[in-house]
Structure 1
């Protein structure tokens, strides 16, 4: 009889141990499932689908910090392109300068006003002069906010009788602001200053 009781007690211990093992396994499976579900949801939230011409294209949503250097350099490049790309057409000048001034603070407006007062834009129009700019290098320091930058580029000034190439070196700061249609990168150039703009070469046409 005592042997029977011992068998029942042993069986009960085995059943209890088996039950604990099953419960622990269920907890582990549930935790794993919740973790994987969270990862899948996060991955799904990082996908953006764009519908164009009745076709869906997948785009990726990334943390802004991943692309910060690229966006900062693109903002600086766009500003200089708008500000220094000019043609002998008042509407073109106004449009380009207007776009540039959305990307910078009053320091760019002051440079524009100074050029306007010196009849720079009037001379562009009356002299049938076109002007373009190309970046050589854009150096941005991301250690501190606002980010300091230096732009190195070359201007090409096309006159009726000659083509002049000039160096262009500017510096300033970048402050992070809200994105908009007029400022898609979400930066604002501050304390912008032209520190060098001298002739490199001149060729007759």
Structure 2
């Protein structure tokens, strides 16, 4: 009789403890689901377009930062290495590119200008353009490597050059002239060599 009572008491205690644990787990689960639901709702934004509500979703800046880094590096190289035989166009592109880089960009521009690079472009009516192959950014050190091909179209020849540059990225305040909020530092050209040199046929 006594043993039966003790067994029942133990079973009752076990049932109470399990019930309490289940209640705690249910409460924690409910709180987590409630928090997740509220967080998801806060990430949704409704924008009116001509009176029609459009659902948008916020994203964390960090999620897209790698994309912005690569876009910034790509934008700078496009501005700096797109060189038509138009002095005003060159000046405007260089001016825009200087907002994206520190004085290492200005030093490279001055070196090219002093060597008569831009005068040669004007006199030969050459057109320089660049195509990006890839941009690699280290997420920890923010060091990057740029790989691209430069196309030099002259009257007598068509030249393709393999271009590789390297540098670092530094966070700054976003502005109209620097929408990504990044500055390139310690920029230098690692490789710039001809890979194709075709002579054009003269008629």
Q: Does 1:169 align with 2:159?
A: no
C-alpha RMSD of matched pairs (Å): 2.6
TM-score by length of 1: 0.75
Corresponding residue of 1:116: 113
Cα deviation for residue 54 of structure 1 reads 5.9
Cα deviation for residue 154 of structure 1 reads 0.7
Q: Does 1:70 align with 2:67?
A: yes
Cα deviation for residue 181 of structure 1 reads 1.5
Which of 1 and 2 has greater Rg? 1
Corresponding residue of 1:149: 144
Alignment of 1:135-146 (within 5 A): 135-144=132-141
1:80 is paired with a residue whose SS is helix
C-alpha separation between the residues in 2 aligned to 1:107 and 1:169?
16
Alignment of 1:30-179 (within 5 A): 36=34, 42-50=39-47, 56-144=53-141, 147-179=142-174
Corresponding residue of 1:194: 189
Cα deviation for residue 61 of structure 1 reads 2.2
Structure 1 spans left out of the alignment, 5+ residues:
1-23
Cα deviation for residue 43 of structure 1 reads 3.4
2:63 is paired with a residue whose SS is helix
1:135 is paired with a residue whose SS is strand
Comparing 107-116 with 55-64, which one deviates more in the overlay? Answer: 55-64
Structure 2 spans left out of the alignment, 5+ residues:
1-22
C-alpha separation between the residues in 2 aligned to 1:125 and 1:59?
48
